[in-house]
């Protein structure tokens, strides 16, 4: 597995999403990967909760290799986030093109949007020239055949690329890394088309005060045997106590798991 961060997997046939976050600044620790955290929260109760997060460097070969692996995997939606900007270190478009085996081409609609955005910012007094510079126009070069999405607040064009399908349509969604742009694209372009419906996991938390985490081992072991479709995680809190987070695919299963958690609890629960 490439990258420095991964979580989960999907081997049970569940619908899921994978996130590929691109950026040397993420791997060096100079920038926190807030986009992946936000998107995981956004996805968790929808039809395709996140099953895997990977962080990779700004290298065309690394991007292409990770996206090939994602395209061959089970994810219904693959989000590739970051690296769409106007400087040479923004290499995601080139990596996607390499993965697809197609050239980068100047997309007329993307170029038109960029020119209009530059003219608008010039009229507002935010730019010195009404003409886009070479760096700005770099963002209009996209992999041949890619579908263009709208960026409501920025210049980098998001993409939707259909992947080889199994039972359902599968998509590679290429998004800008600037958080304001990223979230706007997800909410205004991705969610209405790709995130409708339900089917994600349901979550609930209970808190144990004045209890060492190790004291939960017998109860959590028995709970995993009683409820194989549910998931139980224990998380020590900085201020003391332990939170047990329970999740299940259905509300009924979550209710049953929580009832047994309370029955087997080794100490008082703080509601």
- Comparing C-alpha atoms, which of 14, 35, 26 is closest to residue 58? 26
Question: Residue 141's pLDDT is what?
Answer: 97
The predicted pLDDT at position 154 comes to 93
Predicted confidence (pLDDT) per residue in 167-203, tens digit: 788 999 999 999 999 999 999 999 999 998 766 778 8
Q: How far apart are CA 97 and CA 105, in angstroms?
A: 10
Give me the pLDDT at residue 5, please: 39
- Whose structure tokens read 């070069």? 141
* pLDDT for res 13: 56
- Quote the pLDDT of residue 214: 93
> What is residue 55's three-state secondary structure?
strand
For 61-80, write each residue's pLDDT tens digit. 999 999 999 999 999 999 99
Residues in the chain: 271
Q: Where are the domains of the chain?
A: 17-194, 202-270
State the pTM of this model: 0.83
pLDDT at 8: 41
Q: What is the DSSP string of 205-237?
A: EEEESS--GGGGHHHHHHHHHH-TTSEEEEEE-
Q: What is the pLDDT of residue 157?
A: 95
Can you list the residues of the chain whose pLDDT is less than 70?
Answer: 1-13, 198-199, 271
Domain at 202-270, CATH from 3.30.70.2860, 3.30.360.10, 3.30.1490.100, 2.40.30.10: 3.30.70.2860
Classify residue 146 by its DSSP letter.
P
141-143/147-148 β-pairing: unpaired
Supply the CATH classification number for the domain 17-194.
3.40.980.10
d(CA 101, CA 41): 33
The three-point CA angle 30-34-36 to 5° equals 120
Strands 77-81 and 17-22: parallel
């Amino acid at each position: 597995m490439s990258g420095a961060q991964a979580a989960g997997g999907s081997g049970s046939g569940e619908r899921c999403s994978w996130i590929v976050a691109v950026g040397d600044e993420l791997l060096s620790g100079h920038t926190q990967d807030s986009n992946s955290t936000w998107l995981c929260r956004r996805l968790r109760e929808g039809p395709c909760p996140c099953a895997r997060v990977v962080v990779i460097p700004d290298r065309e070969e690394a991007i292409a290799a990770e996206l090939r692996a994602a395209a061959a995997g089970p994810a219904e939606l693959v989000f590739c986030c970051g690296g769409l900007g106007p400087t040479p270190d923004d290499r995601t478009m080139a990596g996607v093109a390499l993965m697809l085996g197609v050239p980068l081409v100047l997309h007329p609609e993307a170029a038109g949007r960029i020119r209009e955005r530059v003219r608008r910012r010039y009229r507002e007094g935010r730019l010195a020239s009404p003409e886009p510079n070479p760096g700005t126009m770099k963002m209009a070069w996209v992999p041949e055949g890619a579908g263009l999405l709208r960026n409501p607040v920025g210049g980098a064009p998001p993409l939707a690329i259909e992947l080889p399908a199994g039972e359902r349509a599968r998509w590679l969604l290429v998004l800008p890394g600037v958080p304001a742009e990223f979230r706007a694209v997800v909410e205004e372009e991705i969610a209405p088309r790709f995130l409708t419906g339900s089917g994600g996991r349901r979550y609930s938390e209970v808190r144990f005060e004045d209890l060492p985490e190790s004291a939960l081992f017998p109860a959590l072991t028995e709970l995993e045997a009683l409820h194989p479709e549910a998931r139980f995680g224990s998380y020590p809190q900085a201020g003391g106590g332990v939170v047990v987070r329970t999740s299940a695919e259905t509300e009924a299963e979550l209710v049953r798991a929580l009832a047994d958690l309370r029955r087997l609890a080794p100490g008082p629960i703080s509601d």
